[in-house]
Amino acid sequence: MGEIIDGKRISAQIKEEIRIRAIEFEKSHGRKIGLAVIKVGEDPASAIYVRNKVKACEACNIASFAYYFDANITQDKLVEMICILNDDKRVDGILVQLPLPQGIDERAVLSRILPEKDADGFHIVNAGKLFLGEYTPSVACTPRGIIELIKSTGVEIAGKHAVVIGRSNIVGKPVAMLLLANNATVTVCHSRTRNLADITRTADILVAAVGKKKFVKADMVKRGAIVIDVGMNRDDEGLFGDVDFDTVKDVASHITPVPGGVGPMTIAMLLKNTVDGAFNE
Ligand code: GUN
């Protein structure tokens, strides 16, 4: 059986380092580092993520400012709120939980956050910098966490074939860029990819960000591969990843569980972006 990559343990170490830096900041600046979190509408998964992010702030000596809006808020009002937070000296990072309700232009909203306060790394400037290999002020949290998890195995990324399933702006595309920056040979697969299993079976590192419960089966994975499961699929039976963990764990050399793999790392990286941003102001 492959080794389980313990995202909970690794993220706890990172959060402890963040907490120490956040205490240092408070001592030297006379205020806490602040993260504003905006949630719009009643998406149940978003409610869980936002609650966990606020809790993580508390644990790391970071002040959180949470704003919850009805799904019928206008885009203009939302932008107005972002402008207020851009000017608020107590706020070092701003995060708008996605997805936003239909009718609101996500890109337009995210682009109104000051790039220096973009805790998620979703602003068009920060996405562009990632493309160019520049990682300040922030890099998308889940991709950044995935790289940390791969590095925690001690297996070298350079020269490996990394296959990413999924091409979203928040996971697939940015993680492909980071893997490339780490000198992997990268293939990005998606819903229109032909012969998907033929490609995934050649992966030394397989990142599944599909959004389909247990989509990756053991016969799609090369023996000894590192498998990173980004899936968060909730149904009546519970929370499931994109990987069929019970069978794939016997083929992989290292594998992340769901929950307790990528999820906690995303939050740790969000706090890291926020703290880095605060010190760089
Ligand atoms: N929705 C799913 N993942 C994320 C994330 O990392 N940040 C935000 N803001 N929304 C998300």
For 81-98, give the DSSP string. Answer: HHHHHHH-TT-SEEEE-S
Rounded CA gap, 179 and 184, in Å?
Answer: 6
Q: Of 92, 118, 120, 276, which residue is the catalytic one? A: 120
Q: Could you tell which of 48, 170, 230 is best to mutate to test the pocket of ligand 1, judged by most ligand atoms within 8 Å of the CB? A: 170
Tokens of 135: 């990682």
Give the distance (Å) from ligand 1 centre to CA of residue 98. Answer: 5
Which of the residues 15, 32, 92, 97 is marked catalytic?
97
Query: Phi/psi class of residue 235: alpha, beta or left (left: φ > 0; alpha: ψ in -120 to 50)?
Result: beta
3-state SS, residue 219: helix
52 pLDDT above the threshold of 90: yes
Q: Is the pLDDT of residue 58 over 80?
A: yes
- Say whether 13 is catalytic: no
Candidate of 98, 169, 233, 267 to mutate for ligand 1, largest count of ligand atoms within 8 Å of Cβ: 98
pLDDT interval class at 109 (50, 70, 90) = very high
Mean of per-residue pLDDT scores for the chain: 97
Q: What is the Å distance from ligand 1's center to 225 Cα?
A: 27
The string over 250-267, giving b where at least 16 C-beta atoms fall within 10 Å of a residue's C-beta and e elsewhere, is: ebbebbbbbeebbbbbbb
What residue owns the CA closest to ligand 1's atom 9? 97
Work out the average pLDDT over 171-197: 98
pLDDT at 42 over 90: yes
Predicted confidence at residue 143, as pLDDT, reads 98
Tens digit of each residue's pLDDT (9 = 90 or more) over 63-83: 999 999 999 999 999 999 999
Tell me which residue has its CA closest to atom 2 in ligand 1: 98
Report residues whose beta carbon is within 6 angstroms of any ligand 1 atom: 95-98, 120, 141-142, 170, 266
pTM of the complete model: 0.97
Cα separations in angstroms, 239 against 56, 168, 211, 214, 233: 20, 21, 12, 11, 6
**53 is an active site residue:** yes
pLDDT surpassing 90 at residue 121: yes
- Say how many Å lie between the CA of residue 3 and the centre of ligand 1: 27
Q: Which residue has the tokens 């996500």?
A: 106
Residue 97 bears catalytic tag = yes
Q: 240 has which bridge partners?
A: 233
Res 281 pLDDT > 80: no
Q: Which of 37, 120, 123 gets mutated to test ligand 1 (max ligand atoms within 8 A of its CB)?
A: 120
pLDDT 10s digits, 263-278: 999 999 999 999 999 9
Q: What is the pLDDT of residues 186-243, one digit of tens each?
A: 999 999 999 999 999 999 999 999 999 999 999 999 999 999 999 999 999 999 999 9
81-119 in b/e form (b: 16+ CB < 10 A) is bbeebeeeeebbbbbbbbebeeebeeeebbbbbbbbbbb
Q: Which residues pair with 33 in a beta bridge?
A: 62
Beta-carbon contacts of 263 under 8 Å, excluding residues fewer than 6 positions away, are: 7, 232
